[in-house]
Amino acid sequence: MTEYGKTLRAIDTPIPGLTVWELPVHGDNRGWFKENWQRAKMVAAGMPDFGPVQNNISFNDAAGTTRGIHAEPWDMFVSVATGRIFGAWVDLRAGPTFGTAFTIELDPSRAVFVPRGVGNSFQTLEPNTAYAYLVNDHYSPDVDYPSVNPADETLAIAWPIPLHRAELSAKDRAQPGLADITPVAPQRTLVLGTDGQLGHALRTAFAGTSHVEFAGRADLDLASSDLASARRWRDYDTIINAAAYTAVDTAETPEGRVAAWAANVTGVAELARIAAAHNITLVHVSSDYVFDGTAPRAYRETDPVAPLGVYGQTKAAGDQIVSTVPRHYVVRTSWVIGEGRNFVRTMLSLAAKGVDPAVVDDQFGRLTFTSELARAIRHLIETDASYGTYNVTGSGSVCSWADIARRTFALAGHDPERVRGVSTAEYFGKATTPVAPRPVNSVLDLTKIESTGFHPADADDTLANYVRRETGEAYPASPDRELQMLDPA
């Protein structure tokens, strides 16, 4: 008997991500009515916004009809239109809950959300039972997925109608036992732009994680005309885009402008289309250059953008495109230091060679080490933080570039007074090539990222550790222009 008057709510189960849903059913002498799927209400109540694309119905004319246990490669929301079923689910995903089973009886007032990789099965308890399920990928006959024998003794499923009396396909009776099942691997994560500073840090952050793939430009070019078919995208859960055009001054030239828009906007737009079409989480790295630097306080994620130069314009445009993807993280950062040539290494090299540099002292911000940026990205993904834009930099005191240069000299055992502070106008006053305008204030507010449980390391502490690691290494000669800010990769 269908129970009327329930309140819409989710009930957790021993299988992570598998939730039972109590559904309000309204009935009278004519029959009953329910909202079987109501996206807004269910998402608000905790349902993953899983983006169903296909609705299937299974009609079963006899009690005892048994189907499963199949771990299809999609998420599904299963419910009963008429009749009753005994549902059984087995976690076939790799991890500590592999093999965990859960059973419950379903009627029109109770449904279940089943995440990808969890084996789904049911047995009808009444004749003329109709069982419906929404899925977030289109069925394809060539899709391979594991199935486990419903009679496996290690699962100990107490089928109400013994399987020797049930209607069961020969194929399901012949399925292997749990011990012979290869666990379902997580959906893949693809990291793009691994040739750059952040890309190298992401390789380190995800080292040893079997489901994470890394691609440099030679492996996957965002400007390629066949990007949409370059991968079997439905196998991916997350794309981390660390690829970008970051030559801020060259972007002010005619050729650079074209290249910057191609990489930071056109390529990003194609990634966004792919992510939206396949329900993929898109992680995109942004920059303080989207702001004009005139704010009297640290910039918040909600502040309007007002880029001063071409590079900032392309990053702002890319941010807006990514924000239209349902599952997205825009990670906005500043003053990035990573492997390869960077500001700190340049200062160490000049200090060791006896050069007394002139460094800009009227631009303010915090350093962001790529190791911290990569750690923040992994944190957002793995904690299922709310989608949106997050500022990520080092924490601690706000400094000018000259302050950082002096601190670097001191940490390396050199006299910090050798660094002479100059204005931006003086520093670039004799430039013979285009120079991009810089925001004076690059300080980003960290309240939002901290609210997710991520606490950025103090930038000065990280700088000290970095200098200790670097001291004693050989530093390549660098042109004077390296004294200016280096931008996120």
Which pLDDT tens digit goes with each residue over 39-50? Answer: 999 999 999 888
The answer for residues whose C-beta is within 8 angstroms of residue 389's C-beta and 6 or more apart is 286, 301, 319, 323, 329, 330, 331, 332
Q: Say what the pLDDT of residue 485 is.
A: 35
Q: Say what the pLDDT of residue 228 is.
A: 84
The fold of 9-180 is Jelly Rolls (2.60.120)
Kindly state the average pLDDT of the residues 306-332: 97
Within 10 angstroms of residue 163's Cβ, the number of other Cβ atoms is: 17
Confidence of residue 1 (pLDDT cuts 50, 70, 90): low
Query: What CATH code is assigned to 188-483?
Result: 3.40.50.720
The token pair at 470 is 């670097």
Amino acid at 267: G
Q: By the 8 A CB rule, do 321 and 265 touch?
A: yes
Residue 473 or residue 30, greater confidence: 30
Q: State the number of CA atoms in the 13 A half-sphere of 44 facing the CB.
A: 6
Q: Look at residues 332, 333, 329 and name the one whose alpha carbon lies nearest to residue 384.
A: 329
Convert the pLDDT of each residue in 444-453 to its tens digit.
999 999 999 9
Active site residue 138: no
Q: Say what the pLDDT of residue 227 is.
A: 84
Helices (H), 174-246: 197-205
Active site residue 70: yes
Query: Residue 472 above 70 pLDDT?
Result: no
The residue annotated as part of the active site, out of 70, 211, 387, 475, is: 70
Query: Residue 304 above 80 pLDDT?
Result: yes
The residue annotated as part of the active site, out of 131, 133, 236, 289, is: 133
Compute the distance between CA of residue 470 and CA of residue 466 in angstroms, rounded to an integer: 6
Q: By the 8 A CB rule, do 396 and 458 touch?
A: yes
Query: Residue 141 above 80 pLDDT?
Result: no
Convert the pLDDT of each residue in 392-419 to its tens digit.
999 999 999 999 999 999 999 999 999 9
The answer for residues whose C-beta is within 8 angstroms of residue 348's C-beta and 6 or more apart is 408, 412, 467, 470, 471, 475
Q: How is the chain split into domains, by residue range?
A: 9-180, 188-483
Q: State the number of CA atoms in the 13 A half-sphere of 148 facing the CB.
A: 32
Query: Residue 474 above 60 pLDDT?
Result: no
Query: Residue 484 above 90 pLDDT?
Result: no
